[in-house]
Amino acid sequence: MYKAQDDRYENKAFNRSGKSGIFLPAVSLGFWHNFGENDDFQNMRQMCFTAFDNGITHFDLANNYGPGPGSAEVSLGKIIKKDMSNYRDELIISTKAGYTMWDGPYGDYGSKKYMIASLDQSLRRLGLDYVDIFYHHRMDKNTPLEETMHALATAVHSGKALYAGLSNYDGETMTKASEILKSMNCPFIINQNSYSIFNRTIENNGLLEASRKEGKGIIAYSPLAQGLLSDRYLNGIPKDSRIKKDGRFLNMKSLTEEKLIMISKLNKIAVERGQTLAQMALMWVLKDKAVTSVLIGASKPEQIIENIKSVNGAPFTEEELKAIDNIVL
């Protein structure tokens, strides 16, 4: 049985999620990639141990994470049962429903039928009685917002989830959803959206400002733009890179000459700050107090340790922030 490091909480950064009572680590571990059915299980275990030993208490999943769909939850379920069951009360485990999981009209989007069935399946795969946060994974124009929010409230009121979250919502829809969930006495505490130096969508669709106004946290996924905001591609494409392994969400078309020039210029700023580009990119996302945590993906334990160092960097100067904007905007 794994035994966690005794000093795992010393000098570690935790941020309150909006106005809720929940604090999340500044850096959380995402299970989108590298925890699937064909990935190395011993490496998965070591990544979980390394994360927890270094103060990462939040593991983020979804019903469709793997690959294939559901396999990331199965992997974490095995790790918790085998190694980390003693630490369940020190962990925040989140999962989501909203994308295609099974055939037919009840395996996708945001109906109550789908949401509750998906959560039940997730709990079986994880081997848990409850998750800490249950998200609706994407906006759904085909389902009344009230129905989807009622599904989240039902999940919480039944004890299958402690808190509700929304993912990939814009500011206007999130505000409406927040009002509905409040009327149902359902604790909605966090939004999960893509946010990075390269992707400013939440600044432009009202989500960032609405989260501040509503007192909801933000957890940012893809803060490294699928690895582009690192030094991995400055001297060619590594054989073990995501472009080589996957290509669905990051491919050769992403690495334009213009984008490589941007990455090189950003890397120079990072070096001048005494950081890697990845560390600077994570810290850039965390500079906004509305952001509770950044979600990192990792393929090996060493990457987790390097990314955690981002929270110890010097605050950005106004000149540095302007220089970054001038490069990418």
Torsion, Cα of 65, 69, 72, 77 (10° steps): 130
CA separation for the pair 321, 284 (Å, rounded): 9
How many CB atoms sit inside 10 A of residue 272's CB? 11
- Domains in the chain, CATH or no CATH each: 14-328 (3.20.20.100)
Q: Which residue has the tokens 């149902």?
A: 184
0.85 cut: is pTM over it? yes
Q: Which residues of 55-82 are buried (b: 16+ CB within 10 A; e: fewer)?
A: bbbbbbbbbbbbbebbbbbbbbbbbbee
What is the largest distance, in Å, between two alpha-carbon atoms of the chain? 54
Nearest to 207 by CA among 144, 137, 290, 110: 290
CA separation for the pair 104, 14 (Å, rounded): 42
Q: What are the angstrom distances between the C-alpha of 194 and each of 17, 41, 115, 255?
A: 17, 27, 22, 19
Q: What is the pLDDT of residue 252?
A: 57
At 288-328, the pLDDT tens digits run 999 999 999 999 999 999 999 999 899 999 999 999 999 99
The two tokens of residue 217 are: 């946290």
At 128-184, the pLDDT tens digits run 999 999 999 999 999 999 999 999 999 999 999 999 999 999 999 999 999 999 999
Helix axes 41-53, 71-79, angle to 10 degrees: 60
At 40-87, the pLDDT tens digits run 999 999 999 999 999 999 999 999 999 999 999 999 999 999 999 999
**Mean pLDDT, the chain, integer:** 95
